[in-house]
Amino acid sequence: MENKPNSNNKLFRWILIIFTLIMIGFGIHMASKTTAPWNKNKVKSEKWKVKN
């Protein structure tokens, strides 16, 4: 009986670690796809530049 709470605790820790890593991954992905408010004007002006 004493072994089961320890096993549940390890399982909970692994699930928590995996969930946290997935959330960090989503955060990084979303941050790379968006533009910060202070850079929006810069990005708009770069879109209209003619590339040689």
The per-residue pLDDT for range 28-41, each reduced to its tens digit, is 999 888 877 777 77
Q: Is the pLDDT score of 3 beyond 60?
A: no
Q: Is the pLDDT score of 1 beyond 60?
A: no
What is the structure's pLDDT at 21? 98
pLDDT band of residue 51 (cuts 50, 70, 90) is low
Task: Enumerate residues 6+ apart whose C-beta is below 8 A from 29.
Answer: none
What is the structure's pLDDT at 2? 53
Q: What is the DSSP string of 24-50?
A: HHHHHHHHHHS--GGGHHHHHHHHTSP
43 touches 35 (CB < 8 A) = yes
The per-residue pLDDT for range 7-30, each reduced to its tens digit, is 889 999 999 999 999 999 999 999
Largest CA distance in the chain: 73
